[in-house]
Amino acid sequence: MRNNTLLLLGVVLALAAVPCMATEITFAEFDTISGPDITVSYSLVASVPTNTITESASVNFEYLNMTPPFGLSGTLPATLVINASTTAPDGEVTSDSHGNLSQYDYAGNFSIVLRIPYGGYPAGYLLLSGNFGPIESELNGRVSSLTFSDSTPPVGEVEFSSNALQFGNGDEGLSLNLTGINNTAINAEGMFSGFSASDTGGFSANVIPEPFSFLLLGSGLVGLGLLRRKLR
């Protein structure tokens, strides 16, 4: 009876860690606290027509679909900063007969840090940051609502980093939903004249298990090995 109990315990420990192995998931999201917070502006950079996305806003950030890093569960008070730009001619806005707008080739970066101390971590602790674009980046949608998205592949198109997580090889992606846009006029250079909006967003990647998950799996396998020796 005792041997059967030990065998069952080893199997449970081993299987408990399996769902935590690296797999592509939507692992985080944010909501802005008040808006509009994100802007798309127009300028000439070295005489080249340029649209630039900028944001520096207080947001609610949350890790999803996994065991959150220790002390970082629930809704986290954070600050989001985004900087990205696209230039003509590749970044010129196109419009179809149905009113759909598209713009491509944004390249930039973002960071999300704790706004105040939380769960034993200091203000400024890096929850998530990344670089993105320009090949697969796209801003498209209707006049009052646009979505910015980018994903890997190609390799290096989107790259995340975090003090709380590690990321495995594979697809990484981000998506921002822009709503409440006040103006999507297109200027003579074929770029957005400029607008502001509110935004929410999500992030997906292959997330590496926390060290505890590996320990759990290892403990189960070691237990099975010891039990097998004992039963011989």
pLDDT range class, residue 142, cuts 50, 70, 90: confident
* Range in 95-99, 124-128, 173-177 with the lowest mean pLDDT: 95-99
According to the model, what pLDDT value does residue 56 have? 96
According to the model, what pLDDT value does residue 102 have? 97
pLDDT range class, residue 219, cuts 50, 70, 90: very low
Q: Average pLDDT of 153-166? A: 94
Dump pLDDT digits (tens) for 12-67: 444 444 444 457 899 999 999 987 899 999 999 999 999 999 999 999 999 999 88
Between residues 232 and 44, which one has the greater pLDDT? 44
Phi, psi at residue 10, to the nearest 5°? -65, -40
Scanning the structure block, which residue is given the tokens 């999500």?
A: 202
Which token pair is 52? Answer: 């630039």
Q: Average pLDDT of 104-117? A: 98
* Range in 47-51, 144-148, 201-205, 212-216 with the lowest mean pLDDT: 212-216
- The structural domains of the chain, with segments of one domain joined by +, span 1-20+210-232, 22-208
What's the mean pLDDT when you consider all of the chain?
A: 85
Radius of gyration of the chain from its Cα atoms, rounded to whole angstroms: 23
- pTM of the prediction? 0.81
DSSP-derived pairing of the beta strands 173-179 and 194-206: antiparallel
Between residues 63 and 229, which one has the greater pLDDT? 63
